[in-house]
Chain A
Amino acid sequence: MDNHTSPHVDRSADQIDPGRRSALRCMAWAGTGLVWTVAGGVPFAAGLVGGGAQAAPAAGLTFVQISDSHVGFDKPANPDALATLREAVAGIRDLPTKPAFILHTGDISHLSRDEQFDAADQTLKDLGLPVFFVPGEHDVLDDGGGAAYLARYGKGPNGKALGAGWYSFDHGGVHFVALVNVVNLRGGGLGTLGEDQLAWLAGDLKSQVDSTPVVVFAHIPLWTIYPEWGWGTDDGARALSLLRRFGSVTVLNGHIHQILQKIEGNVAFHTARSTAFPQPAPGSAPSPGPVKLPAEKLRGALGVTTVTYRPKASPLAIVDATLG
Chain B
Amino acid sequence: MKRFLVAMLLAALATVAKAETVEIRIDNFTFSPAEVHVAPGTTVVWVNADDIPHAVAANDKSFKSKVLDTEERYSRTVAGPGVIEYFCSLHPHMTGRIVVDGGTGGPAGR
**Chain A proximity of B39: nearest CB distance (Å):** 24
| Complex interface: chain A residues within 8 A of B94 (CB) | 230
Q: How far is the CA of A83 from the CA of B69 in the complex (A)?
A: 21
- Cβ contacts under 8 Å, A186 to chain B: 59, 87, 92
Q: Which residues of B contact A142 (CB under 8 A)?
A: 67
Shortest beta-carbon distance from A145 to chain B in Å: 9
| Cα-based distance from A216 to B14 in the complex (angstroms) | 60
The answer for the CA separation of A187 and B34 in the assembled complex, in Å, is: 14
Closest residue of chain A to B55 (Cβ to Cβ) is A141
A187 to B60, CA, bound (A): 10
**Which of A110, A137, A188, A228 sits near B95, CB closer than 8 Å?**
A188
A259 to B66, CA, bound (A): 31
Cβ–Cβ contact B67 & A141, under 8 A? yes
Please give me the residue from chain A that is nearest to B30 by CB atom: A287
**Once bound together, how far apart are the Cα atoms of A289 and B50, in whole Å?**
8
Q: CA separation between A241 and B91, bound complex, in Å?
A: 25
Number of interface residues of A (CB under 8 A): 26
Q: Tell me the bound Cα distance from A230 to B90 in angstroms.
A: 10
Q: Could you tell me the dominant secondary structure of chain A's interface residues?
A: loop
Chain A minimum-CB-distance residue to B92: A185
- The answer to whether A290 and B51 have CB atoms under 8 Å apart is yes
Neighbouring B residues of A227 by C-beta, 8 Å: 93
Chain B positions 35 through 76: 1 when the CB is less than 8 Å from some CB of chain A, otherwise 0: 000000000000000111101010100000011011000000
Residue of A nearest to B89 (CB): A185
Q: Which residues of B contact A229 (CB under 8 A)?
A: 29, 93
User: In the bound complex, how far is the Cα of B59 from the Cα of A188, in angstroms?
Assistant: 9
CB of A265 within 8 A of chain B? no
8 A Cβ contacts from A64-91 to B: 75-77
- Inter-chain CA distance A229–B28, complex, in Å, is 11
Is the pair B90, A75 in contact by a Cβ cutoff of 8 Å? Answer: no
Asked if A35 is an interface residue, CB under 8 A from chain B, the answer is no
- Chain A residues lying within 8 Å of B30, measured Cβ to Cβ, are 287
Residue contact A289 to B51, C-beta cutoff 8 Å: yes
* A residues near B67, Cβ cutoff 8 Å: 111-112, 141-142
Do the beta carbons of A230 and B51 come within 8 Å of each other? no
User: Number of B interface residues, CB 8 Å?
Assistant: 24
Contact of A141 with B53 at beta-carbon distance under 8 Å, contacts A187-B85, A187-B86 already known = yes
Within 8 A of B (CB), among A128-156: 137-138, 141-143
- A252 CB within 8 Å of chain B: no
Given A76-B51, A111-B67, also A187-B92 (CB < 8 A): yes
Judge whether A288 is part of the interface by a CB distance below 8 angstroms.
Answer: yes
CB-CB < 8 A to A112: which residues of B? 67
Given contacts A111-B67, A143-B66, whether A188 and B87 have CB atoms under 8 Å apart is yes
Flag if B93 contacts A230 (CB, 8 Å). yes
- A215 → chain B closest CB, angstroms: 27
Of the candidates B28, B90, B93, B95, the one whose C-beta lies within 8 Å of that of A289 is B28
A288 to B27, CA, bound (A): 11
The B-contacting residues of A in range 156-193, CB under 8 angstroms, are 185-190
Closest to B29 in A: A287
> In whole angstroms, what is the CA distance A76 to B85 when docked?
33
A290–B29 alpha-carbon span in the complex (Å): 11
Cβ distance B94 to chain A, nearest Cβ, rounded Å: 8
How far apart are the CA atoms of A141 and B68 in the complex, in Å? Answer: 10
B66 to chain A, nearest CB (A): 6
**Is the CB–CB distance between B28 and A286 below 8 Å?**
yes
Contacts of B57 in A (CB 8 A): 187
11 of the cross-chain contacts (CB-CB < 8 Å) are A138-B53, A141-B53, A141-B55, A187-B57, A187-B95, A190-B92, A229-B29, A286-B28, A287-B50, A288-B29, A289-B50
For the complex of A and B, the 7 pairs showing the least CB-CB separation, nearest first, are A187-B87, A287-B28, A230-B93, A287-B29, A185-B92, A141-B67, A75-B51
